[in-house]
Amino acid sequence: MAGHGIPRVSGLSATTGAGREKELRKIQDYRGLVDTVNAKMREKAYTKEILSMTTKLLEMNPEYYTVWNYRRRLLQSFFPGDPSTETRIADIWSDVSGTEKVRKYILDDLAFLLPLLRKFPKCYWIWNYRIWLLDEASRRLPPKIAYDIWQKELGLVGKMLSLDGRNFHGWGYRRKVVSELEKLSAKLDSAGTSMTEAEFNYTTKMIESNLSNFSAWHRRSKLIPKLLEERNSSNAERRDFLDKGKSCRTRALWADPDSKDQSLWFYHQYLLKNFEPDPGNGSIVRDLSHEDKLSYIEAQVGDLVDMLEGAETCKWIYQRLIDLALMRRALTNKAMNEPRPIAYPEAKSWIDSLAELDPLRRGRWDDLRSEING
């Protein structure tokens, strides 16, 4: 889980004299350990001694992905049975000592990874191996035991995101953990327990602590359709939800409309998709009439034009105004069944402002200008 503002640690430092000799001895020890482990793995000498050697190697060099694969093979050789069929799984779960053995190996290895993650938070091999361990817990342990292990992992990723809330790797990892908890919950209870509401509340908490949390806004947009379905929201409740979302977003944008931060503007774009001629299944409100959509668009344009006063250098305002202008024309074209001109004469000046503020994308603005004139 890579962190914002956290440099990748190389573990190397300039040394001279005695320090250099010490480093050379470390390198010799490391190479000797590598040779020993490689030789033993070729011989399939799957012992706890070799497992201990892989621990030492990975503490010195967690980027050595081959050793992570060795460690997987070693643990698999220690685990009792092969849960390849339902009958075999039932046999393994009935063996209390075998289940406890697997649980202990997994928990011990998860604990072994924590200091490495603190020291090397950007090492993908550590995260990949951790996911493998957790997946093995789901595969080899009774659902209740596996659920408890994954539940603790949710607490861990929560602590990590509290330290770096904008870490998109952490948010991706959290989605994986939540998904697995929901699957295990369904095994424990046929009805299962959805975590959508809790996760939606979590995004609210993270956004309130930092409005620039793009990952939290993105996660929120993905949760909303599922949330409304699970709430069995009526059309009126869906409209109320959309209005509250627009109101919250508008207040945040008014606080600093000229901000270079893109998070709120992308979420704003997500909300605007509800007013497209064919918004699709992910829309918040499904019964908006043509007149409703035009009314929403007009209100949004008015808000953005007002916002321009004192924020003339914010390109996002111009972009959203143009998006709305094109959206309004698409709605009108569909209703009238014939091409109609852009309803806002100011649209050409909005394009000119964009071209001046962001000249590197002049080709994009020229395409928009042609679309507006079309």
- 345-370: per-residue pLDDT in tens? 889 999 999 999 999 999 999 998 88
The pLDDT score that the predictor gives to residue 256 is: 63
Tell me the residue type at 233.
S
Question: 164 is written with which tokens?
Answer: 């770096």
* Of residues 331, 325, 286, the one with CA closest to residue 304: 325
Residue 339's pLDDT is what? Answer: 73
pLDDT in tens, 75-114: 999 998 766 554 455 555 566 688 999 999 999 999 999 9
Q: In terms of C-beta distances under 8 Å and separation of at least 24 residues, what long-range contacts does 115-121 make, across chains too?
A: 116/58, 116/59, 116/62, 117/1, 119/9, 120/9, 120/62, 121/1, 121/2, 121/3, 121/6
pTM > 0.95: no
Which residues fall within 8 angstroms of residue 35, CB to CB, at 6 or more apart?
none
pLDDT of residue 157: 93
**Residue 5: DSSP 8-state:** T
Are 129 and 68 in contact, with CB atoms under 8 Å apart? Answer: yes
As a whole number of angstroms, the distance between CA 38 and CA 149 comes to 32
Please answer whether residues 252 and 245 qualify as being in contact, where contact means their C-beta atoms are separated by less than 8 angstroms: no
Cα(94)–Cα(90) distance, integer angstroms: 6
Rounded to 5°, angle at Cα 265 from 261 and 270:
145
Residue ranges in the chain whose pLDDT is less than 70: 1-17, 82-96, 254-261, 374
CA distance 127 to 125: 5
pLDDT given for residue 2 in this prediction: 46
